[in-house]
Chains A and B, each alone.
Chain A
């Protein structure tokens, strides 16, 4: 089934949620761990699934991606990280999704 243009899938919402809760810019592997922890899953999100979702969020300007300063990576003796931060628009979309979910839960509770 083709997704509606601009609609967010559960993984994208989970990424926004995790990154927003973290507050600081977060890199891909850290996000994969946060997602696994949040879901109590043993396996980490696949590379392709995670970075495709992050790419889509960046294209929609819901997250901002930025390569960290190479000097920091060199000082710490590791490859450069690509850091993601939730934008204002991303926070708004996340809040709207949460409101919808709450309303649906309430409606289900009333039914």
Chain B
């Protein structure tokens, strides 16, 4: 990883969760500094090393700056961080529940007979195949979130909402679970898309 990439990766990490304007300002300032540094000293390996050194030596100050910003934000009226934390916990739990449920239903694919003793012939096989596909979509969606965020989020949303549709008789429970998992995936994808866009605008 070059010094520039390290510095940009780090600025995205320590500004994550701060308000958008603060994030954008700090990132733009670092982008400008990196450009001026390269322009002044050239793009040699030594310059990249110096940039990496400036980034790493500044980590304690960055963390302290972040803490002070976060404290200021917490001091503002409202329960934003608490609600955000609860939201992520709900989305994460919903996702894990959906994956675990489909993985369990899909056990029939592996020859296990853990459910469906009183089901009509063939129903267990059909249900386990569907569950296998939905579990794959859920897990694959998360794996895709980094490289193809929109596709990843679509997989998770499709599988989550599809589950709620298939289990319509349990909609009061499955509906909120599907919505929570879908919302979490959409927020993660949106963040990732923005990071990709920022990275491409910084390199262009």
Contact = CB atoms under 8 A, between A and B. Distances in A.
Interface of A: 27-30, 32-33, 43-52, 55, 67, 78-82
A48 B60 contact: yes
A49 B28 CA distance: 16
Given A28-B29, A48-B65, A43 B50 contact: yes
A46 B54 contact: yes
26 contacts: A27-B36, A29-B32, A29-B36, A30-B36, A44-B37, A44-B54, A46-B53, A46-B54, A46-B61, A47-B33, A47-B54, A47-B55, A47-B62, A48-B57, A48-B58, A49-B58, A51-B58, A51-B65, A52-B58, A52-B61, A78-B39, A79-B28, A82-B25, A82-B28, A82-B29, A82-B32
A28 B33 contact: yes
B30 interface: yes
Of A43, A48, A49, A67, most buried by chain B (CB within 10 Å of CB) is: A48
Contact of B30 (A43, A47, A67, A78): A47
Nearest to B22: A55
A46 B55 contact: yes
Contacts of A32: 33, 54
Given A29-B40, A78-B39, A47 B7 contact: yes
B90 to A, nearest CB: 34
B31 A79 contact: yes
